[in-house]
């Protein structure tokens, strides 16, 4: 009898041992809820900032604000009507100065704090709104920009005076644009 049990035992172990492994199901299923929540939060933040910017523009109804294709608003303090002057292109060197204010007009950084800056178009770091704003300007022009936070310093701020998700007003003056001859 024992001789019959041993082969049956080995056969049953062989059958059990050769079973293919089954995939385990996860205990909890993660969905895109974090991303969905983040999108909703950003939509609400953007709507709130746009509403605030529109109120500022209504209060300054004597200014002729222009909506840019990039998602910010601006008006010309000083506009150059000379057709021979061009806006900067990739690699052009721009000498400019600007200040940074809250939308209520409180100065965060003055033009004296920032001093004259030299920027090589699209080849150096600069916050998105200012980089796109400089592309619209000619030598001698002064423009005031209203930037929502995602076009300014965004979620992180500047780690100094500009806080998280802070829309900004910047008055920018371009002193010179030197063409890149390459």
pLDDT tens, position by position, 30-83: 666 788 888 899 999 999 999 999 999 999 989 999 999 999 999 999 998 887
Q: How many CA atoms lie within 13 A of 165 on its CB side?
A: 11
Query: What backbone phi and psi angles, to 5 degrees, belong to 56?
Result: -60, -45
> Confidence class of residue 23 from pLDDT cuts 50, 70 and 90?
confident
Contact 158, 124 (CB under 8 A): no
Q: Which residue has the higher pLDDT, 103 or 2?
A: 103
> Confidence class of residue 22 from pLDDT cuts 50, 70 and 90?
confident
**β-strand pairing of 168-178 with 142-147:** antiparallel
pLDDT at position 30: 62
Residue 60 structure tokens? 């300054």
Q: Which of 112, 91, 93 is nearest to 174 (CA)?
A: 93
pLDDT at position 54: 93
Domains of the chain, by residue range, sit at: 48-178
* CA 175 – CA 97 distance, rounded (Å): 8
Q: Indicate whether 121 pLDDT > 80.
A: yes
Determine how many CB atoms are found less than 10 A away from the CB of residue 143: 22
Domain 48-178: CATH architecture, name and number where available: Roll (3.10)
What's the CA angle centered on 163, arms 130 and 68, to 5 degrees? Answer: 30
Q: Indicate whether 167 pLDDT > 90.
A: yes
* CA 3 – CA 5 distance, rounded (Å): 6
* CA 94 – CA 134 distance, rounded (Å): 8
Q: Which of 82, 46, 63 is nearest to 154 (CA)?
A: 46
Q: Is the pTM of this model over 0.85?
A: no
């Amino acid at each position: 009898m024992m001789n019959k049990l041993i082969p049956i035992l080995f056969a049953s172990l062989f059958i059990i041992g050769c079973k293919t492994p089954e995939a385990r199901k996860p205990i909890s299923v993660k969905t895109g809820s974090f991303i969905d929540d983040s999108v909703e939060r950003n939509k609400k933040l953007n709507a709130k900032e746009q509403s605030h910017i529109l109120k500022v523009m209504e209060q300054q109804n004597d200014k002729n604000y222009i909506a840019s294709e990039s998602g910010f608003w601006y008006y010309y303090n000083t506009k150059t009507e000379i057709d021979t002057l061009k806006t900067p292109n990739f690699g052009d060197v721009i000498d400019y100065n600007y200040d940074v204010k809250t939308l209520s007009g409180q100065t965060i950084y003055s033009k004296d704090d920032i001093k004259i800056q030299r920027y090589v178009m699209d080849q150096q770091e600069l916050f998105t709104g200012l980089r796109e704003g400089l592309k619209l300007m000619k030598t001698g022009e002064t423009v005031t920009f209203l930037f929502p936070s995602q076009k300014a310093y965004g979620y992180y701020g500047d780690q100094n005076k500009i806080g998280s998700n802070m829309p900004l007003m910047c008055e920018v003056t371009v002193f010179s644009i030197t063409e890149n001859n390459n």
